Structure 1
């Protein structure tokens, strides 16, 4: 996924592909924070963060892997 692809429009006129992918990646981060008991303020600040950096695909894969790992974490599962 490269720069020009990320600039493509989505059905929502307010979001391009980058904004949509950033939202999904941010949700992965929010799930991790919630599962580990992060303060509400920290979780609510996530939508304003650029989660993609220079490599959107790598960010997406990494945050998805970490979110899935949270569900396998025995401490979180028992929480």
Structure 2
């Protein structure tokens, strides 16, 4: 079991994501991201949908029943949509009992602590994706990337990835790469900008 309480990290990670989301301009919504299957608009939908999913899981509901936000959010409403689901997720995970409760997530049954740790990694990785797509408008918190990299290396060993794994094979990170570049490489991503 992961001994670290992921709740403070998740709160910081969602605040960081909210800050980056606020920088999105309408003309950037159709732009590419390091998630090759997503443009910026689709990535925002995935971020909002994933946050809604972990909120539902934290509330004791079926996170697998949560569907993407496709077409539900207007182009000028991404900040408000994320702020709303972010507040819901943070409230859902406030209780200490949630950490030990077994929850059902897309990859199986795990403790709430492990589920929320995985969602720290998820939001941190996608915040990096969004930041890359937007031309790196803000400096990102390296401690969040370090936690996420450790979680990713533990939960997503490269040798065990297959066609059902939602991440490409790990790529080598450049020498002296920072924690975000290492996390991106571990998840099979490449930066869009130099």
TM-score between both structures, scaled by the size of structure 1: 0.71
Q: Quick one: which of 17, 26, 41 aligns to 1:18?
A: 41
Aligned length: 75
Q: 4+ residue runs of structure 1 moved beyond 4 angstroms? A: none
> Which runs of structure 2 are paired with 1:29-44 in the superposition (5 Å)?
29-39=52-62, 42-43=65-66
Q: CA distance change for structure 1 residues 76 and 52 in 2, over 3 Å: closer, same or farther?
A: farther
**Residues 1-79 of structure 1 mapped to structure 2, 5 A cutoff:** 1-39=24-62, 42-43=65-66, 46-47=67-68, 49-50=69-70, 53-54=73-74, 55-72=77-94, 74=95, 77=98
> Which has more helix, going by share of residues?
1
**Aligned-residue offset at 1:22:** 0.9
Find the aligned partners of 2:96 and 2:72 in 1 and give their Cα distance: 28
Per-residue deviation at 1:34?
Answer: 1.0
* CA RMSD in angstroms, aligned pairs only: 2.6
Q: Distance in 2 between matches of 1:40 and 1:31?
A: 7
- Greater RCO (CA < 8 Å, at least 6 residues apart): 1
Q: What's the CA shift string for 1:33-60, capped at 9, x where partnerless?
A: 11122236523xx23x327612011111
Which structure shows the bigger proportion of residues in strand conformation?
A: 2
Unaligned runs of 5+ in 1: none
Report the TM-score, using the length of structure 2 for normalisation.
0.33
